[in-house]
Amino acid sequence: MATEHKITATRREVGGKGASRRLRRTAQIPAILYGGSAAPQPLQLDHDKVWLASQNEWFYSSILDLEVDGQVQKVLLRDMQRHPYKQLIMHLDFQRVDENQTLRVKVPLHFLNQEKSPAGKTAGVVVTHELNEIEISCLPKDLPEFIEVDLAGLKVGDIVHLSDLKLPAGVEIPELRLGKEHDVAVVVAKHGREEVEETAAPEPAEVPAAKVKKEEK
């Protein structure tokens, strides 16, 4: 079962761009909580605490315990707006989680044992991670923080597809329901340089007879 992660927020009654700007000046982040049968609720969170949390992978792919004025709700982060060049979070969107409803969430991939694999030990071989995260579907109780991809047996020329991933119980990849063409590559192991055959030197071009005669003169 995934580790519990708790963040704290308070309600805010005043909305609008002006109110959001005033919040940011006091190191608070405006946010919205929506979903389920309850009405959307504007929130505010401490910027520094959220910034620290946002440096962790779990902040984006795990179910969070959002405490609002003493009451804890299960939520997912659905959107984060960042400042274009400053280290500032501008706005957050949280979605309430229903334990009986299937979720579709993107989770990161953790690649294991690549260095120990035959491909990883072979000089000149490049192992490319075509994907670093995948979208999965599952009930909230089955949501993993990440999916492990064990590359211990990876050989030169191997391709690991979505269908090759070992998923936890209760977890599916919706993309695979759409057909074989959606079973895309996750990892590819191939030689870094393709051998190029040496091309023969070009034969000298024929000199037109008229030019030869002119030079002879």
Tell me the chain's radius of gyration from C-alpha atoms: 28
How confident is the prediction for the chain on average, in pLDDT?
88
Buried b / exposed e over 157-170, threshold 16 CB at 10 Å, is: ebebebeebebeee
Residue 206 scores a pLDDT above 70: no
Strand 185-191: give its sheet, edge to edge: 125-129, 185-191, 159-161
Residue 111 CB-half CA count within 13 A: 20
pLDDT reported for residue 207: 53
Domain 5-96 class, CATH top level: mainly beta
By CB neighbour count within 10 A (0-12 exposed, 13-18 middle, 19+ buried), where does 92 fall?
buried
CA 30 to chain centre: 24
**Per-residue confidence at 15, pLDDT binned at 50, 70, 90?**
low
Within 10 Å of residue 31's Cβ, how many Cβ atoms? Answer: 24
DSSP-derived secondary structure letter, 204: P
Instruction: State residue 28 phi and psi, 5-degree precision.
Output: -115, 150
Q: For domain 103-191, which architecture applies?
A: Beta Complex (2.170)
| pLDDT tens sequence across 122-149 | 989 999 999 999 999 999 999 999 999 9
How far, rounded to the nearest angstrom, does the alpha carbon of residue 194 sit from its chain's CA centroid?
A: 30
Q: Are 68 and 9 in contact (CB under 8 A)?
A: yes
Q: Give 18's pLDDT tier (boundaries 50, 70, 90).
A: confident
Among candidates 31, 10, 108, 99, which has minimal Cα distance to 62?
108
Reported as a single tens digit per residue, the pLDDT across 53-112 is 999 999 999 999 999 988 999 999 999 999 999 999 999 999 999 999 999 999 999 999
| Structure tokens, 142 | 């089955």
Average pLDDT over residues 191-217: 52
Three-state secondary structure string covering 59-100: HHHCCEEEEECCEEEEEEEEEEEECCCCCCEEEEEEEECCCC
Domain boundaries in the chain?
5-96, 103-191
